[in-house]
């Protein structure tokens, strides 16, 4: 549990759930990097990791399953074309027309709808746990970006058909995990540069020790 200070209030940020739908925070970040701010104080690029319920006393932590980089803006300036949250907001204002003027000073949109997810509409003064944008940027520099590599392995087999050759190749690949030396692999990166990795070299080095 982490204690976060927000003005004169102390908020208890509980440990992040370990369920499958709560992946670890990106870039090696942890909840130790989080700070508490009001929703209207969230800055662009801050990583939103949790919200706290309204009210006084001990506020339960509501962790964000997929932490997201904030893009805060007024609901009236939202580029959303009609998500569930915005439709609920429209219904709320239609029920009482005077509420239209209240929306922008009562709520803030922390992120517009994307990839099937609704907008994140939050009361402006609700406490939110975020990891500041500059902390996120530094963490990104430390963690190498994920890239796409093509891996090729080749060998010659005497066989009566392509299917038999494929089966022999598969059996040989399986044997690498038990009683055979691993193969030499050709790795091609996104720029087309080729690297040959001889996994046998590591085996020979270990045996020579």
Per-residue pLDDT of the chain (209 residues; tens, 9 = 90+): 788 888 888 888 999 998 888 999 998 899 999 999 999 999 999 999 999 987 666 778 899 999 999 999 988 888 887 788 888 888 877 777 777 777 888 899 999 888 778 899 999 999 999 999 999 999 988 877 777 888 888 788 898 998 998 888 888 888 877 766 777 888 888 888 888 888 776 543 333 34
d(CA 47, CA 43): 9
HEC readout, the chain: CEEEEECCEEEEECCCCCCCCCCCCHHHCCHHHCEEEEHHHCCCCCEEEEEECCCCCCCCEEEEEEEEECCCECHHHCCCCCCHHHHHHHHHHHHCHHHHHHHHHHEEECCCCECCECCCEEECCCEEEEECHHHHHHHHHHCCCCCCCEEECCCCCCCCCHHHHHHHHHHHHHHCCCCCCCCEEEEECCCCCEEEEEHHHHHHHHHHC
Closest to 129 (Cα-Cα) out of 17, 11, 9, 24:
11
pLDDT of residue 208: 38
pLDDT of residue 206: 38
pLDDT of residue 47: 97
Does this model's pTM top 0.85? My answer is no
What are the boundaries of each domain within the chain? 2-142, 150-208
């Amino acid at each position: 549990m982490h204690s976060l200070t927000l003005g004169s209030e102390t908020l208890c940020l509980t440990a992040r759930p370990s369920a499958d739908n709560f992946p670890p925070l990106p870039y090696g970040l942890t909840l130790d990097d989080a700070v508490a701010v009001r929703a209207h104080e969230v800055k662009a690029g801050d990583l939103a990791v949790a919200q706290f319920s309204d009210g006084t006393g001990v506020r339960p932590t509501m962790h964000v399953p997929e932490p997201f980089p904030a893009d805060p803006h007024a609901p009236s300036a939202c580029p959303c074309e009609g998500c569930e949250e915005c439709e609920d907001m429209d219904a709320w204002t239609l029920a009482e027309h005077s509420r239209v003027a209240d929306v922008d000073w009562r709520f803030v949109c922390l992120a517009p709808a994307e990839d099937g997810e609704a907008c994140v509409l939050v009361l402006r003064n609700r406490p939110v746990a975020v990891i500041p944008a500059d902390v996120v940027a530094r963490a990104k520099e430390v963690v190498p970006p994920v890239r796409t590599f093509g891996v090729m392995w080749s060998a010659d087999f005497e066989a009566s058909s392509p299917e038999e050759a494929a089966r022999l190749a598969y059996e040989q690949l399986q044997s690498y995990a038990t009683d055979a030396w691993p193969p030499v692999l050709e790795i091609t990166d996104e720029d087309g540069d080729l690297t040959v990795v001889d996994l046998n070299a590591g085996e020979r080095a270990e045996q020579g020790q």
